[in-house]
Amino acid sequence: MIAIIDYGMGNLQSVANILDYIGEKNIITNKTKEIELADKLILPGVGAFGEAMENLKKLGLVEVLSNEVMEVKKPFLGICLGMQLLADKSYEIGEHNGLGFIKGEVKKLTPEGDEYRIPHIGWNDVEPQRECVLYGNDMSPKICYFVHSFHFDCENKEDITGVTDYGGKFVCSLERGNIMATQFHPEKSQKDGIEMMRKFVKY
């Protein structure tokens, strides 16, 4: 059973739909007991970092996620805002502390070139940087769907599994032990995204 964490940010049903499609039982929840009983966790999200952290705190989810991910070591996937929340800090509309699961800071995209609009919306290539759970040993580019204005500036380069070029390269996926994360939306990335979700489910 996979628990999709509900903290009031983003379309969680699209993640549930892709898990249903590949035949994996799942539940959308913010209840501590259901999260503790789950085998794996997914933290999706779209929206502002500060509001997201406030919601997680109000629901008591910071503590349960910290325990289940960092102590119990459950397989965890952060998607879009869910990836950014793993950072130590974000500079989106002020300065906000994150979950601190992976060392780094969230900063605004600053692409070089007038043709690059913010937010970065649409399909783009993902360039795998090393073997990891979501890509396996397939180093060929993936085509994935993005919607974001900020990026994760990762402190430890060995945590980086993928980069994307949008007027300059930025980190688009991470993996550290049981923690996986993508800036893009695998649940909206069709063939390549489905394959990544299958790999996460099998992990």
For the stretch 147-156, pLDDT in tens is 999 999 999 9
User: Is 151 designated active site?
Assistant: no
Of 43, 34, 49, the closest CA to residue 7 belongs to 43
- The catalytic position among 68, 175, 187, 195 is 187
Domains and CATH numbers, the chain: 2-202 (3.40.50.880)
Confidence band (pLDDT; 50, 70, 90) for 161? very high
Catalytic residue among 92, 120, 185, 195: 185
Tens digit of each residue's pLDDT (9 = 90 or more) over 37-67: 999 999 999 999 999 999 999 999 999 999 9
Q: For residue 4, how many C-alpha atoms fall within 13 Å in the half-sphere facing its CB? A: 23
pLDDT (0 to 100) of residue 84? 98
pLDDT number for residue 19: 98
The reply to whether 148 belongs to the active site is: no
Structure confidence at residue 11 (pLDDT): 82
pLDDT at 96 over 90: yes
90-to-74, 93, 107, 118, 145 alpha-carbon distances in Å: 25, 9, 6, 17, 22
Confidence label for 142 from pLDDT (cuts 50, 70 and 90): very high
Q: Distances from the Cα of 60 to the Cαs of 54, 69, 88, 104, in angstroms? A: 10, 15, 18, 23
Q: What is the pLDDT averaged over residues 192-197?
A: 98
Q: Does 125 score more than 90 pLDDT?
A: yes
| Res 95: pLDDT | 95
Q: Which of 18-22, 25-29, 86-90, 110-114 has the lowest mean pLDDT?
A: 110-114
Model pLDDT, residue 4: 98
Res. 2: pLDDT tops 90: yes
Average pLDDT of the chain is 97
Would residue 187 show up in a list of annotated catalytic residues for this protein?
Answer: yes
Quote the pLDDT of residue 10.
Answer: 82
* 82 strand-pairing partners: none
Burial track 7-34 (b if 16+ CB lie within 10 A, e otherwise)? bebbebeebbebbeeeebebbebbeeee
The pLDDT assigned to 114 comes to 86
Catalytic residue among 24, 80, 92, 154: 80
Query: What's the pLDDT band for 15 if we cut at 50, 70, 90?
Result: very high
